Every structure is written in C-alpha cells, then in structure tokens.
Amino acid sequence: MSHIVSIIGRPNVGKSTLFNRLVGNPIAIMDNEAGVTRDRHYGKVEWNSKEFDLIDTGGFMPHSKDFFDKKIAEQVQIAIDESNTILFIVDAQTGVTQYDESILEVFKKKKVENLILVVNKVDNYQLQLEANAFYSFAIDSTFFIASISGSGTGELLDMITKNIKDEKPNDEFSDNNVPKIAIIGKPNVGKSSFVNCLLEKERTIVSEIEGTTRDSIHTLFEKFQKKIILIDTAGLRKKNKIKNDLEYYSTVRTIRSIDESDVCLLLIDSTEGVQAQDLAIYTQIIKKGKGVVIVGNKWDLIEKSTMSSKEYEDRWRKKLEPFSDIPIHFISVLQKTRVLKTLEIAEEVYNLRKQKITTSNLNKFLKNAIIKMQPPVVRGMPISINYITQLATASTPSFLLFCNHPNDIKESYKKFLENQFRQEFNFKGVPIRFFFRKKN
C-alpha cells in the first residue's frame, strides 16, 4: 500500500507552492488570495528510491463558520486520519498565529504520530531567527524551508522517506507472480457487478446508487487455471463533483489501487462512450505506467444494427490518442457475455508488460528505425543515436538510448521511435518509456 503524505495548514502559508516543489510540476494553482485551493491535488514523489503520494489540501480554519471553510475542515479532519505522514506548514513571515495554534490543538487531540512541522518562507537570515519562535510548538521534526527556491526541501524529503518503511507482505495477496488487476471507472458503470459476475457470488455490495463502493476491496480469483488478485475500487469522478468526505477519500484510495495494480480494467458505459472523466482516469493510469484494457460495459443496450463493434472501437481509439495501442473489449455484465474473456485479455497485457527484449533485437530495431527517418539536425549538428538497451529493474518497460545530444531529441521524433517500436514488438496495452542519455 502506498504511503500518503498530506500538506495541512491555514490559508496562504504556501501549501500549493510546496506541493508543486515536491512533485516537480506546477499542478496546483498558486495565488496570494487565501482559499484558492478548494479541490484536492494529488501527486507522486520519488526520493531516495522511495515513493509516496502527496496531497495538497485547502486552507484549514478549524473554527470558521464559513460554508467552504467548514467543508474544507471536514475533509482535512479525514485527511489526518487517512494519511501516514502530516506536513504541518506555517509561515515564517507572519510568525505564530492563533490559527496555527488552533490547528496544533487539532493534531494533539487526534494524537497524530508522524507530524512534521514545516516553517515556510524562511528566505533570509533574519527570518531564520524569527522562525525559531515555532519551536514553542514542541514538535520534534521541525524544518525551515523556502518552497519557492527549494531551500531546505531536500532535508524535508529525507525525513519523509525515512518514515516510509519497506513493508514485508505476509498474506495471500503478496505473491508478486500473481497479476493484480484493478477495476477502475466512473461511478455506476458496473465495477462491483463485474467482480460479482466473475466470482458468481456477492463478494461486494451492488447497488444502483452511485458510489456504493467506498473503499478498495481485494479478492483472490482462482478459477479455470487462473490465479488473479482483483481490486474493486470506488468510482472516480471529477473533483468538482465530489460531494462529501467519503467520496473524496474514495478517490484517494482508488489512486492507491492504481499504484499497486499491474493492469487496470477501465470500465466505460457503452451507451455514453468515452467521456472527459474517462479520459482523465485513463491519463492517470498511463502516467503511472500501468497496463490498461478498455472495457465497454452495457453492450447489450447498444442497437447493433446502427454500428458494428469495430466502428465503436475505432471511434473510442481516436479519443484515446496519442496512446491508442490498447485492447478495447465490449461486454455485458447483466447478460454475462464476454466477461471472462476480459481477464484473458488482462493476463495477456500483464505478460506483455513483463517481457524483456534482447539487446541485439533492440539495436536491430534502432538501426532500421533510423534508416526510415534520420534524427533531426540541431544547430547544424546531426544527432547520432548509437545504442539502446532495456532497463532491467524498471516496473514499467523502459529503454535507455545513448546519443550525442540527448536534450535535443524532439518529442515528434520520440513519438516516431515509439510507433516504430510498437510495430516491431508487441506491447499492446502497455505504456513504455524512452530515456535518452549522453554517450561516454
């Protein structure tokens, strides 16, 4: 299970700035106006060969009567319970405030264990002296940082990753050779019904009410000479559609389920087609480098005379571009048609994701690809790609290419190489990574 770290503090102390600094991407909106962050932002951080999920929360005002402040406070209270580590962020420029003290009281009542005090905006020596006032909070782990410049964030990350223990699995779901398949999708597309259909029993609660499944449920499927761990998840929806705290943390748990899976079955309502939220979920799966199968449920409700499955598949694939080399499979959970076939396809993707290509075959491919299209000339200098090898330890199929000007490889040429690669080798449903390094 992934480690969750939440950033909590009053408005305008730099939570989103710290989030963007640690994640390395400008995902969260930053503004001097208090209360800008109301939706939650999620990001993955890697440091010292360890990973954790980082969550940016809204400005916490424990005793405010404002409607939005109360809603944010409710979610932050749950964040405290759900997270493994809390970053309590304060502002050195304004010093200790009654709002900071109120938040500290909440942490004390909750008896938060992994609490790290982050004194932000320590931009000069004078502020460093004034920041010492926060030692009055008596929090053992206290760090002075400046999120904008990144000063002190390395030591903070060292502390966070120190708290991440390498858990040793000891249950029936710990076998690394057993595919872990997560059933992902918007609410009410039939995820729990899909699992129950496979198991032929009500392992999970099924309801027409959206959001019935509020946590991720692991089930061992062992039939027809197959052994698979099924992960049934709560439905993902747009963040502005999240109406209550349980739905918010269902989203967090779903993201964690994607993290621990090998292959994701993205269930889509065939009567609706690929919607914006389906694409958002799909993007999350691809970013995390997981295998993916698109599963169109409720196929029984489609008028077959109007359009064939191949035409539907082509239309969906167009929406999934640029990465559209994926299996698309139509089923009806209600009529129990083609459901088991879904697992067979997922197993194929799982095996493709684990495959290793010999270095000799990779370099033969590279030579032929370069003959078809030479790398572009940059600043009058031709780019020369000399060698390719597969990274053995990467969980997502990753390939290292050595060249003379790695930073000048255009995205268009990278896409050309990936397309050629997929024509040569079968990685259907599997994201791949190309890394370019300067040759010695």
Say which CATH number the domain at 383 has: 3.30.300.20
Average pLDDT over residues 157-174: 69
> Which residues are 264's β-sheet partners?
182, 292
pLDDT score, position 207: 43
DSSP β-ladder status, 226-232 and 398-403: unpaired
For 375, counting Cβ atoms within 10 Å of its Cβ (0-12 exposed, 13-18 middle, 19+ buried), the class is: buried
The residue that leads in pLDDT, 163 or 325, is 325
Nearest alpha carbon to residue 9 among 81, 45, 58: 58
Taking 50 as the threshold, does the pLDDT of residue 206 lie above it?
Answer: no
3-state secondary structure of 131: helix
pLDDT score, position 284: 87
> Please, are residues 150 and 36 in contact by the beta-carbon 8 Å criterion?
no
Cβ count within 10 A of residue 81:
9
**C-alpha dist (Å) from residue 325 to 119, 255, 291, 294, 422:** 47, 23, 11, 11, 8
pLDDT tier, 178 (very low <50, low <70, confident <90, very high otherwise): confident
- 349 domain-assigned: yes
**C-alpha dist (Å) from residue 220 to 30, 181, 295, 413:** 44, 10, 20, 43
d(CA 186, CA 352): 26
pLDDT score, position 241: 52
Q: Tell me, yes or no, whether 18 and 151 share the same domain.
A: yes
Q: Tell me, yes or no, whether 185 and 97 share the same domain.
A: no
Q: Tell me, yes or no, whether 103 and 230 share the same domain.
A: no
Taking 70 as the threshold, does the pLDDT of residue 245 lie above it?
Answer: no
Q: Tell me, yes or no, whether 129 and 24 share the same domain.
A: yes
Q: Tell me, yes or no, whether 375 and 333 share the same domain.
A: no
pLDDT score, position 176: 65
> Please, are residues 192 and 186 in contact by the beta-carbon 8 Å criterion?
no
Q: Tell me, yes or no, whether 118 and 35 share the same domain.
A: yes
> Please, are residues 215 and 249 in contact by the beta-carbon 8 Å criterion?
no
pLDDT score, position 27: 45
- 93 domain-assigned: yes
CATH number at residue 275: 3.40.50.300
d(CA 268, CA 191): 10
- 175 domain-assigned: no
> Please, are residues 332 and 300 in contact by the beta-carbon 8 Å criterion?
yes
Average pLDDT over residues 401-427: 93
Q: Tell me, yes or no, whether 154 and 300 share the same domain.
A: no
Can you spell out the DSSP letters for 394-416? Answer: -SS-EEEEEES-GGG--HHHHHH
DSSP β-ladder status, 141-144 and 398-403: unpaired
Could you report the per-residue pLDDT of 329-368, keeping only the tens digit for each? 999 999 999 999 999 999 999 999 999 999 999 999 999 9
Q: Looking at 354, 372, 407, which one is the last position of a domain?
A: 354
Number of domains composing the chain:
3
Taking 70 as the threshold, does the pLDDT of residue 202 lie above it?
Answer: no
- 220 domain-assigned: yes
pLDDT score, position 230: 85
> Please, are residues 17 and 42 in contact by the beta-carbon 8 Å criterion?
no
pLDDT tier, 236 (very low <50, low <70, confident <90, very high otherwise): very low
Q: Tell me, yes or no, whether 339 and 380 share the same domain.
A: no
For 198, counting Cβ atoms within 10 Å of its Cβ (0-12 exposed, 13-18 middle, 19+ buried), the class is: buried
Q: Would residue 163 be called left, alpha or beta, if left means φ above 0 and alpha means ψ between -120 and 50 degrees?
A: alpha
3-state secondary structure of 315: helix
Average pLDDT over residues 390-409: 90
pLDDT score, position 305: 67
Percent of the chain with pLDDT over 70: 83
3-state secondary structure of 308: coil
- 170 domain-assigned: no
> Which residues are 438's β-sheet partners?
403
- 56 domain-assigned: yes
Average pLDDT over residues 184-190: 86
Q: Tell me, yes or no, whether 234 and 348 share the same domain.
A: yes
- 139 domain-assigned: yes
d(CA 303, CA 301): 7
Nearest alpha carbon to residue 181 among 201, 198, 168, 167: 198
Q: Tell me, yes or no, whether 47 and 77 share the same domain.
A: yes
pLDDT tier, 41 (very low <50, low <70, confident <90, very high otherwise): low
d(CA 275, CA 319): 9
What's the order of all strands across the beta sheet hosting 50-56? 41-47, 50-56, 4-8, 85-91, 115-120, 141-144
For residue 345, give every residue at least 6 positions away whose Cβ sits within 8 Å of its Cβ, in sequence order, or none. 293, 327, 329, 429
Q: Tell me, yes or no, whether 288 and 342 share the same domain.
A: yes
pLDDT score, position 36: 36
Taking 60 as the threshold, does the pLDDT of residue 10 lie above it?
Answer: yes
Q: Looking at 354, 372, 387, which one is the last position of a domain?
A: 354
Where in the sequence is the domain holding 37, given as residue range(s)? 4-162
- 11 domain-assigned: yes
Q: Tell me, yes or no, whether 52 and 102 share the same domain.
A: yes
Average pLDDT over residues 41-59: 82
Taking 50 as the threshold, does the pLDDT of residue 154 lie above it?
Answer: yes
pLDDT tier, 37 (very low <50, low <70, confident <90, very high otherwise): very low
Q: Report pTM.
A: 0.61
Q: Looking at 327, 354, 381, which one is the last position of a domain?
A: 354
The residue that leads in pLDDT, 169 or 191, is 191
